[in-house]
Amino acid sequence: MRTVKLGSSGIECQDIGLGTWAMGGWMWGGGDDAAAIDAIRASLDAGVRLIDTAPAYGLGRAETLVGSALSGRREQAVIATKCGLVWHTRQGTHFFDEEGQAVYRYLGREAIFHEIEQSLTRLRTDYIDLYITHWQDTTTPVAETMDALLELKRQGKIRAIGVSNVDAPTLTEYLRHGPVDAIQERYSLIDREIESTLVPLCRQHDIAVLGYSSLALGLLAGPIDPQRQFSGDDQRQGNPRFSAENREKLNAFFADIEPVRARLQCSFAQLMIAWTTACGSVTVALCGARTAHQAIENARAGAVTLGADDVARIDGAADRHLGALMS
């Protein structure tokens, strides 16, 4: 894995990071806490430093698992967590219900100060490396939100500031009030809209880009049996991208790029992660894992080197087979 910098913060990590949304269980058909802790520790052992989590991932469950996994190893990790999805107050805008609990988008000053203390406790640490506004709140001025984040930075409770699920005008408004070190946005072979909307602005202002869902919720991890069923609250159950018809298109795509995979002696998932880090749009590819095996396999994608011809072949195959899935 390459070593990269998170904007001008001085924080360094590798270009592959671990995402912990699925470890929270919610919208992923439940979770296995012991396996999740093993996955986090295996990531560190494999050289991954950036561990991305959030309070909303299982209403604190994922953060608690990260805190447990990093016990005695805190200095080996770069922790990114978030604020702005709250259930301790009904201020802001109702966003969704999680496990029977109403969750609101809210980035008011006092709520951020409340959230940081909760996260520090769950993560068993006295500082967060990268603190990210999870979803944007139209009821609170950006100036108020940024003032709170800058105060936390002055207090030493956070080292860097990030924003997520943001548009270019809102990012510009953040920049009017202080430095932004990173954005976190959905990015994969079939989710590339930020290339024209946010990436140019980030390059202009030395802002790192963390791409989440690098494998598109597992869609790009390799051929999927058209008959496979997703159960429980697994979000893929009703996702049209996972229809039987689209799985057949994906299987044709994977067959098209099989020569590239075979020559590089890697898995399809590793090939897609390597594409993400090679394309030049993201600083860090965030990859979810729920087991140590998955975490190690994701990290090993850092040893896969794609040439320009490889990238072009993958892009061409995606255009031929995945046009209907691409955004």
Hey, what are 249's tokens? 């298109």
Catalytic one among 57, 104, 106, 131?
57
Q: Please, what is the Cα angle at 84 between 65 and 173, to 5 degrees?
A: 135
User: Can you state the percent helix, strand and coil of the chain, rounding each to 5?
Assistant: 45, 20, 35
Q: Is 317 helix (H, G, I), strand (E, B) or coil?
A: helix
Q: How far apart are CA 292 and CA 39, in angstroms?
A: 4
Identity of the residue numbered 277: T
Strands 78-83 and 3-5: unpaired
Q: Give yes or no: 131 in active site.
A: no
Contacts 24+ apart (CB under 8 A), 302-308: 302/1, 302/2, 302/14, 302/15, 302/16, 302/47, 302/274, 302/277, 304/264, 304/266, 304/270, 304/271, 304/273, 304/274, 305/264, 305/274, 305/278, 306/264, 306/271, 306/274, 306/275, 306/278
Q: Is the dihedral of CA 248, 253, 259, 261 positive or negative?
A: negative
Q: Which residues are catalytic?
A: 57
